[in-house]
Structure 1
């Protein structure tokens, strides 16, 4: 039987802490000890003594009082490592610091002092320590109007509130919380990749912090433009380029800030005697997706395209898709049904239609290689 590993997460109710504990809970044989603002120092002492590994995420990162930075960062970290020394164990300790530790202000000073406390613990007892200097972290569950531009922008834009950008041209480095969590759990499991930088205590003055990759540099103005593009997608039915790693991570983050009563949004259906056509998604480079509903005994289509191609998938009902070359007489028939999903490709230059052969609506999901442009419809009507 594999022994249970007890893991302490400080700041468990915070942004990274919640994402981290959620991922740890999915692992087998891991017991999570959670420390946060509602716990006492005595409870921290007990948890530190019982833990096999520690993720130290707790800290103060948004305050008008410099003393709060010192208490929440330096002193709390010094208390934690003092409790570890008392326990007499060489407990691995991973500490989330910040790239702000390189700057001269109260928050940066408090983070540097906390780093020093962790490194002294390493020197004193020889415990494995991992100090990460994180840039701006974004993702789900981060509080808006706190310490994250991304969280504030996502919340405000999703809720129709204004945003303020003092300098749209300033560039910040961003990392996604899932990449942070994945890196941290990799350290817990002892997975050291060859391309990952290793934190080495060079001397009392010189050492190398760990980093999380990939890092995404982006101007604040570009960030805002992307988020407004996501918002407009409900009206123009566009979705972002999910082939770009940063874009899809930001898009998922934006969706997590939607008001709960606005997760759904209406579509506009074009209704005719034969049924309805409802466009669902359109993109400039990945095509268009719609939903067709044909009434029993009706036919939809009877046209062809110069350069547009389509894929048709029946998801409910029973029918037939017929195709004929524009300058030919041979008619191809593909019988389709929701019970036996099968995609029918419609090449350009083929007249085609769909006919409902059943007693219920025939529901089809068509994909086209490019969205329909009313000014250049590329649709020539002709009977199959």
Structure 2
């Protein structure tokens, strides 16, 4: 198939092109944008089997540019398709603003009406999406997306301005938008009446968005991962990370070092415990304790050693020999005192997961040699 994509270098266009190029290599993408030679539009309209009309104007210098960009170019595109009697399906990226009485909304509504008329006259399948606020990677900050602006500014330690934190926002995530557009391309659009829409929408206040994004920044200090079981939080967090400055991808961890080696907390979660990295020097034994409810998983990724267990009240000791040459997870059950000894000549590195974040008030850790 030949897929014409207008606005191919815009936010939605760039994400759509990236996905189609990766997952549908047999499609030919005819990319048209402001920098494209206008003469190519004629060729593209002759060859297209499907049109994604994503081009538009939303922040012009003059209000007259709204109608010129959102209505005028749509008219030009449709005239070009008519010239070659090309009645292939055409999708239009409109906006919920089309329902409002403002210059931008009026221009979007005019483009919608034009496309509906075109579909009736030419028998073309018309797919009009009134998108709410779209967010995700590659969205231009300080332009027309509050999420992009907040993510960019907070990630780069820049100030933000929130006039009314109680304003309710309707959001759609770019991956959900792209998935819907590909479904439309393959003949399965999500229709609601005469319009189409992205099935997955999220409702959240402006203030809640800001709180989440500030918590993402603080997570580097607290080590607390966001609640990624919440679909919106998961999408916001991914979006936030895409705005990190290129010299700010990494951050240091606090290493608790002594003559035995080191212990470093890596990640913490509110409901799935925490992950830490333990380094033991040659000949060193660590542990020698047991837990009532706290349980752990040990994974030696470098070096070699032994993990020993003894059930409370019994004398028999059980040994599990571990090595970075053969990755094997060892569960640390409750009610067993345990230790881990480095049997090698080099440092032994162990990834340790525990089912709860350490609480100094209730450590649930009792010293007892194995």
TM-score relative to the length of structure 1: 0.94
Are 1:278 and 2:264 an aligned pair? yes
What secondary structure, in the 3-state scheme, does the structure 1 residue paired with 2:318 have? strand
What secondary structure, in the 3-state scheme, does the structure 1 residue paired with 2:203 have? strand
Which of 324, 327, 337 in structure 2 is aligned with 1:341? Answer: 327
Are 1:43 and 2:40 an aligned pair? yes
Q: How big is the shift at 1:378? A: 2.0
What secondary structure, in the 3-state scheme, does the structure 1 residue paired with 2:68 have? helix
Q: How big is the shift at 1:180? A: 0.4
Are 1:231 and 2:213 an aligned pair? no
Which of 116, 120, 132 in structure 1 is aligned with 2:113? Answer: 116
1:289 corresponds to:
275
**Is the 2:227–2:270 Cα contact (8 Å) retained in structure 1?**
no
Which of 191, 202, 206 in structure 2 is aligned with 1:197? Answer: 191
The size of the alignment, in residue pairs, is: 369
Matches within 5 A, 1:149-164: 149-164=146-161
Q: How big is the shift at 1:323? A: 1.2
Q: How big is the shift at 1:341? A: 1.3
Flag the 1:167–1:97 CA change in 2: closer, same or farther, 3 A: same
Matches within 5 A, 1:81-230: 81-191=78-188, 196-197=190-191, 208-230=194-216
How many Å separate the matches in 2 of 1:161 and 1:286? Answer: 32
How many Å separate the matches in 2 of 1:352 and 1:71? Answer: 74
Q: How big is the shift at 1:64? A: 4.5
**Is the 2:275–2:352 Cα contact (8 Å) retained in structure 1?**
yes
How many Å separate the matches in 2 of 1:48 and 1:295? Answer: 69
How many Å separate the matches in 2 of 1:171 and 1:379? Answer: 46
TM-score relative to the length of structure 2: 0.97
1:10 corresponds to:
6
Are 1:242 and 2:228 an aligned pair? yes
Which of 7, 15, 18 in structure 2 is aligned with 1:19? Answer: 15
Q: How big is the shift at 1:47? A: 1.4
- Give deviations 1:212-247, integer Å, cap 9, x for gaps: 021000000000000011000000101111111111
Higher mean C-alpha deviation, range 266-275 or range 14-23: 266-275
What secondary structure, in the 3-state scheme, does the structure 2 residue paired with 1:360 have? coil
How many Å separate the matches in 1 of 2:337 and 2:60? Answer: 67
How many Å separate the matches in 2 of 1:283 and 1:73? Answer: 46
Higher mean C-alpha deviation, range 257-266 or range 327-336: 327-336
Matches within 5 A, 1:47-86: 47-86=44-83
What secondary structure, in the 3-state scheme, does the structure 1 residue paired with 2:39 have? helix
Q: How big is the shift at 1:309? A: 0.8
Q: How big is the shift at 1:105? A: 0.2
Higher mean C-alpha deviation, range 326-335 or range 360-369: 326-335
2:312 corresponds to:
326
- Give deviations 1:17-39, integer Å, cap 9, x for gaps: 00000011111311111111112
Structure 1 ranges of 4+ moved more than 4 A: none
CA RMSD of aligned residues (A): 1.2
Q: How big is the shift at 1:61? A: 1.2
Segments of 5+ residues of structure 2 without an aligned counterpart are: none
**Is the 2:225–2:268 Cα contact (8 Å) retained in structure 1?**
yes
What secondary structure, in the 3-state scheme, does the structure 2 residue paired with 1:262 have? coil
How many Å separate the matches in 2 of 1:184 and 1:316? Answer: 46
How many Å separate the matches in 2 of 1:48 and 1:375? Answer: 70
Which of 325, 346, 350 in structure 2 is aligned with 1:360? Answer: 346
- Give deviations 1:282-311, integer Å, cap 9, x for gaps: 112110000111111111111112221101
What secondary structure, in the 3-state scheme, does the structure 1 residue paired with 2:25 have? coil
**Is the 2:277–2:349 Cα contact (8 Å) retained in structure 1?**
yes
